């Protein structure tokens, strides 16, 4: 139940953050950079939500002793590695060259 409330909160935050950009794009000239940044934000939020839900599901489902701090640290390391690998791509998407 708490997980569902968390998902709804994350979804509400994503909608609240992208709603002004969509309205601005409808009333004014389409701004691709802002919409692309919002899309990247939504994908990052969605991936964070999936990782958190998977962690919670693993803790409940396997019911074995797991060091929650170690598992959180491993997930954090994975997220940092993933972000480091994607940074050059996002830098190029901003219109800059490496």
From first to last of its 98 residues, what are the pLDDT tens digits of the chain? 666 777 777 778 777 877 777 777 777 776 677 777 777 777 777 777 777 777 777 777 777 676 778 878 888 888 888 888 888 887 777 776 65
Q: What is the Cβ-side half-sphere exposure of residue 57, based on CA atoms within 13 angstroms?
A: 7
Nearest in space to 36 (alpha carbons), one of 27, 25, 26: 25
């Amino acid at each position: 139940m708490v997980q569902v409330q968390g998902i709804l909160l994350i979804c509400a935050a994503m909608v609240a953050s992208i709603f002004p950009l969509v309205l601005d794009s409808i009333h004014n000239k389409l701004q691709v950079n802002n919409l692309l940044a919002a899309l990247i934000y939504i994908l990052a939020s969605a991936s964070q939500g999936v990782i958190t839900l998977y962690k919670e599901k693993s803790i409940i489902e396997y019911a074995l002793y797991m060091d929650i701090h170690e598992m959180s640290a491993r997930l954090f390391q994975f997220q940092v590695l993933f972000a480091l690998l994607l940074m050059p791509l996002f830098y190029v998407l901003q219109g800059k060259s490496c």
